[in-house]
């Protein structure tokens, strides 16, 4: 690997770490870290009172937080995977088929672990 690539990889690593930090900060606003599972967070369950009307609002609020939590968690897992790849020198290759991931895709989504074909199949 030449210096230019090394430099590029370093920048990607910095970008990924920054992204990771901001996701963790977002998660910590409403969820607690699960101590038993790495990178897993638990959304605080609302304190349900006696008023059914209020509870409905709290439960729907909880449900929307949960879906945000899942999105953030899966992004966090992608970032971890991409970071691992940067240290294993496999960054930029698809985890499923091993093909090179389109550099344009990596520019917008540096945490992408799958090529566009495999990502679409997974959906």
Residues in contact with Zn ion by CB under 5 A are 94, 96-97, 115, 118
Beta strands in the chain (DSSP E): 31-33, 41-43
Q: Smaller CB distance to Zn ion: residue 55 or 102? A: 102
Are the CB atoms for 94 and 118 separated by under 8 Å?
yes
What residues have CB less than 8 Å from 23, skipping those under 6 apart? 72, 75, 76, 79
Q: Cβ of residue 98: shortest distance to Zn ion, in angstroms? A: 7
Q: Cβ of residue 94: shortest distance to Zn ion, in angstroms? A: 3
Q: Cβ of residue 105: shortest distance to Zn ion, in angstroms? A: 11
Q: Smaller CB distance to Zn ion: residue 32 or 117? A: 117
């Amino acid at each position: 690997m030449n210096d230019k690539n090394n430099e590029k990889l370093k920048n990607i690593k910095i970008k990924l770490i920054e992204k990771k930090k901001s996701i963790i900060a977002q998660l910590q606003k409403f969820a607690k870290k699960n101590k038993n599972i790495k990178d897993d967070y638990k959304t605080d369950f609302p304190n349900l009172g006696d008023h059914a009307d209020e509870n409905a609002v709290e439960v729907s609020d909880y449900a929307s937080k949960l879906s945000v939590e899942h999105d953030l968690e899966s992004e966090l897992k992608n970032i971890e995977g991409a970071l691992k790849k940067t240290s294993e020198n496999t960054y930029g290759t698809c985890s499923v088929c091993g093909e090179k991931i389109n550099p344009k895709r990596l520019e917008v989504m540096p945490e992408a672990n799958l090529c566009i074909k495999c990502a679409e199949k997974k959906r």
